[in-house]
Structure 1
């Protein structure tokens, strides 16, 4: 029996997975409009307005009425690292179609017909190159208002087979490059009190796997870096139907759509797709005020306030002096 096919010629049920059901529910039953009124029912049952549950529900869904307006794409300069291929290329071209000024940093040029994409050759793992190119970008295009750290590399080797240059390349591109672009472009965002930063990571940053030790470690570092940044500035998939349903493969266009939607909303958030990735890290899914409270209780945001570096001093830092 022949499968029904969609307009693009692919079987309709090929795109049927748990993420589709979650998406529908997120825009209907669990959408902000309906969930915002849930605390009212608790109040009618005797709960107080000051109860933690009521406050958390209103806090996490209040963006429907109190959040910022939609992002004005016409005023944005979006800089994408690794924007000449994969998700980066698709994202660059998609934004360009929306008349957004896009800057691509990559070691290879991007193939595009969009006039508003400007390419700069740059090895983002090298601070000197990032520093030099950033000055050209600011002078010729302007200060980026959206920074998307997308560049990434994977070796796919066992730990004992990884060469030193493999490990250095993985961390230089997947982690250190984030530091270099932030160092180059974040100061202007802070000065202008406006901007957005997106760090593309991976669920493998939460859980290691065979032949991905360097990649997982580098992505875990990138995730932690982005978490710190937020507080500083406020084996092959089995060919089985059930496995594809619960653990679907995410296409680049899905990632691009979610990134653009997040920028449109202008809210700090963590995008976790496909749906099962939401169950890997638990803490990020608590209400943000509870996460902030945990940070406060642990004194995490102020633990380094009076810190003085003692070990690992470089010659350019001078010797440690005791008071």
Structure 2
């Protein structure tokens, strides 16, 4: 848009006893009006404003003839102490952290956000030479992604630590807790493979899906191990207890996994707006539940048979 630029001459201002403040008052009166007092109407107060009828885009000769009153009482035209000219400039100046900002926006389709921004950063670094005082920042959705990723770096270890602590307190055995905790890497394998098969990138929603998956995967192992320990407490041998637990808890484990997995199928297959957030989460949960369930029923009994706590033999002396 068009601007009126007024460049004061400090030497001439000093000669007439004027200051930059006098120029600013005149500029304010030209642009938006200068407050010179108040008008009272009963209990209501109104500002009295002085504003020139001459528009900013008007004739420069008329604007240059605007009078200024010096301290000596002398009337000095504005054009005698300042240079006036019409220039063009931006309609809006965006600022961020007290710095002027120019925004370049684009949408990401058909690929993941992280690799797109990485390619953009490489292209800017290779082909753009920034003047002194300029910098490039990547914001918007990518900025939110970085913030969420940093939070996940704290939330995921905290969730795993809480799961481990609850298993230890529930079973009163660190060895049993570690055996059940094997369901977590089992679930991770399935979630990663599912993302790879569907060609989906790892995203924040996928990370949330892994957190939800850990709880269900650990629950299946907990059902199996606690039942085996109950059989051992009832007098069954170690090998016999885990074998019966794997057989008798097959249906509950499969039911738990199927209920959770089938509930995420509509999200995994959805193509509606917003499904790009739902699909990674649902894919991780479904794939992780498949691998965690299979490995819980096939691998976990063997691990428990080899490393699980055995019932203490009781000797009764007659």
| TM-score computed with the length of structure 2 as normaliser | 0.22
More strand by share: 2
Greater Cα radius of gyration, structure 1 or 2: 2
| TM-score computed with the length of structure 1 as normaliser | 0.22
